[in-house]
Structure 1
Amino acid sequence: MNIFYPTVNIKEKYQDKIVVEVPEVYELMQIASSLTGTFKNDPNLIKSSSSYYQDFRNHFQEFENHDLVLKLNKAFEENPYGNNQHAIRMLSLGLDIDNQNSLIDNGFININPATKYFLSTSVFFPSLNTNLIEDFAKKSNFKDFYKEHKGYYSKLINNYNELCDFKGMQTWLEKKFTSKYQSYRIIFSPLTGGFHSTTSFPNSDRSMDQTFMFVSAPRENIANLSPKEFETASSLSSRIVFTEIDHNYVNPVTDQFLNELDEAMDDYKNWNGQNGGSYPSKYSTFNEYMTWGVFNLYALDTYSEENMDTIIQYPTDFITENRKFIRFREFNQELIRLYESKDKPKIEELYEPIFEWMRKEYETSN
C-alpha cells in the first residue's frame, strides 16, 4: 500500500451515483488558466467558439496580468498537459468558496503532507496558493459571473444526461471488465478544449473507488435534432466521456499483460505518429488504441445498425488522422472481428489474440 497515494472521502451525493457537474472552484481555476498565454495559444486547451467564451473574455480579460494568472502560466510553460494541469483539475475539487471569496477545505481529498512538501516547488497546489486565488476571485467578481451562468451550466448538464446513457456505459463496462467503481464524477468546464483526462482514487478505507472524468462540454443545442441526428450527436458526446471512463477499466487489464505488450509492440513509434506527444511509450500508446477500440465495441452493442457505419467511422478517422495513431483503422477492424467471432466476450479475452495480430502485423509491414 503506497502511503503517498491520495484517498478521497466519497460524499453521499456521489456514492453509487453518476454525477455530471461544473464545480465552482474547478470553474474558477479553469477561468484563471484560460487567461494564460499558454492556454490562449492552444485550441486543445481552450474552446473559443461559444457565447460563454465571449462572456468569459468580456468579464475577465482585464485580469490577464493578475499574479495568479502569471504564476499559472509559468507552471504551464514547460508542459501544459503535465502534472500541474492534473493537480489543478483534481485538487480544486477539494475546495469550496464562500460569499466572502474565502476558500474552504471541504475534506474531500486526503494527501500525505510529505507529498505536498516534496512536490510544492514543482507542482501548483491550489491549497498552497489560496491567497492568490482568493484575491483573483474577489477582484474579478468571479462569484457574480458563476451565479449568472448557473442556468447555462444546468442546461449543459441536462444535455450531457440526455445525450449520454451513463448508466448504460457503466453496466456495459462492468459486464465486460472485472473492475468496479462505486462513483462516477463527470466534470467539465465550457472553456475546456479537446484535452481530457481521467483518474480514480479509493476512499479512506479502500473499500470503494471513485473515478473522475475531466472533459469538455456537450453539444449546446439538441432540441430540434431528428432521431438520426440525435443518435449521431449522442455517439459523439458519449465517445468523449467513454474513452476517459474506460481508461479506468482498460489500464488495469493492460497491467496484467506488460510482457506480452512489450513483445507485440516492438517500437511504439510504428503505431504512434505524434512525434513525441502525450503518449511516449508502448503502454500509453496501446491503452489509447484500446480505449478507443473498446468504445467502438460498445457502439456495436448500443446504437442502431442504420447509423453504425457513421458512428464508428468518425472516431476511427479522428484518432487515425488527427491524433496520428496511424494503425488504428486496422487495429479496430481486427478488434471488432475478434469480438464478434468470440461471441462478444470480456475484453481481457481479446488481449492475447490482439497481441498476436500486432506481432504479425509488425512482421508483415517490415
Structure 2
Amino acid sequence: MKRTFTLATLCIIAAASLFTSCKSYDVASRFNSKYVIASSGKMNAEVPENFELGYAMLALTNLAQKDTAIVDQNTAYYHDLMTWMGKYKNHKSVELLNATLSRNPKLVKSYLDGLYAFQMNGNRFSLKSSYRIDLNRVDFKRFAILLEKFHKDSRFHEFYVQHNGLYADMIQKANNLYSFNEAKTVNGTVKGYQVILSPLTKGYAGTMEIKGHAYSELIIFPRMSVNGRYYAMKEAIAGNRSAE
C-alpha cells in the first residue's frame, strides 16, 4: 500500500536544542576503519526495518496503548499497523516487553536506542558489526530472538514492503530539510549524523551520541509534525537525560 506523506513533515529544525545530545551507554561503538571512512562527513536518513519492527512491537504494549505520548496513534499508518498487527498483542515478544516496561517505563529509551544497533539480515534480527550493547539496560539477548520470531509470525516484512512509498517520501524530506554542513554549525563535535525515522515516533524522540576513539556520530530520532504543527524537541531531549 503506497501512501503519500502530505500531512506530516519531519521535525528537523535548525536549532541547537535539536542537536543537544546525551552520550549513550545503551549503545557503544565498535567502529572499524571501513565504517569511519564510509560515514565521516555524511548525514543519512533511513527507516530501518528492524527499528520499525521494534517500534511496532512497542505500539502493541499496554504502556503504549495507555500513554498516547509514546506512539503517534493519529495517522492512517498507525491504523494500518493495528489492522495488520493487532492480533499479535499477546505474542510472547510483546508479553516480555510488557513485563519489562511495567517494571520501569523509562526503559522505553534504552529499548529504542538499542534497536538502532541491530539490523535485519534477511529474516534474522542481528547485531551490526559496528556496535555493542552489553551495557544496555534491556536484555537484548532475549529480545533479539523474540523480535526475530515476531517478524516471522506477523509477516512484518510484507507490511514493511507495502509502505515503502511512505518511507521513501519521509527519507527524501529529511535529506532535503537538513545537510551535514548545517548540522555541523550547531554540533561540530561529531563526525557523522544518522537520522532514524519512523511514522510511529512521538513522545520518545531525541538524540543519542555514540563515541569511538577516532570517530563519533549523532543519532537523531526526530518526531513528526501533523498538519504543520511542530512538536518541540527540547522536552524529549530533557527526557532522554533524565532516563540515564
Q: TM-score range by the shorter chain?
A: 0.7 to 0.9
Aligned with residue 209 of structure 1, among 185, 207, 216? 216
The yes-or-no answer on 1:165 pairing with 2:178 is yes
| SS class of match (2:210) | strand
1:270-328 residue CA offsets vs partner (Å, 9 max, x unmatched): xxxxxxx959xxx96xxxxxxxxxxxxxxxxxxxxxxxxxxxxxxxxxxxxxxxxxxxx
Between the two proteins, what is the percent identity of the paired residues?
22
- How far the C-alpha of 1:4 sits from its partner, in A, is 10
Contact 1:91 1:109 in 2 (8 A): no
Aligned to 2:31: 9
Contact 1:159 1:218 in 2 (8 A): no
* 1:208-287 mapped onto 2 (5 Å cutoff): 208-218=215-225, 233=228, 236=230, 240=233, 243=234, 278=239
**Residue ranges of structure 2 left out of the alignment (5+ in a row):** 1-24
Aligned with residue 96 of structure 1, among 119, 122, 127? 119
Provide the rounded CA distance (Å) in 1 between the counterparts of 2:67 and 2:119. Answer: 28
State the AA in 2 paired with 1:105.
L
List 4+ stretches of structure 1 deviating above 4 A: none
| SS class of match (1:55) | helix
* 1:61-210 mapped onto 2 (5 Å cutoff): 61-80=86-105, 82=106, 84-99=107-122, 101-112=123-134, 115=135, 123-162=137-176, 164-167=177-180, 169-174=182-187, 179-203=188-212, 206-210=213-217
Provide the rounded CA distance (Å) in 2 between the counterparts of 1:154 and 1:34. Answer: 22
Structure with more strand by fraction: 2
When the two chains are superposed, the root-mean-square deviation of aligned CA atoms in Å is 3.1
Structure number with greater Rg is 1
Aligned to 1:307: none
State the AA in 2 paired with 1:107.
S
1:25-59 residue CA offsets vs partner (Å, 9 max, x unmatched): 11110000100010011121010111100110110
Structure with more helix by fraction: 1
Provide the rounded CA distance (Å) in 1 between the counterparts of 2:224 and 2:102. Answer: 25
Higher relative contact order (CA 8 A, sep 6+): 2
Report how many residues are paired. Answer: 215
- How far the C-alpha of 1:5 sits from its partner, in A, is 8.2
Distance 1:111 1:74, change over 3 A: closer
TM-score, normalisation: structure 2? 0.76
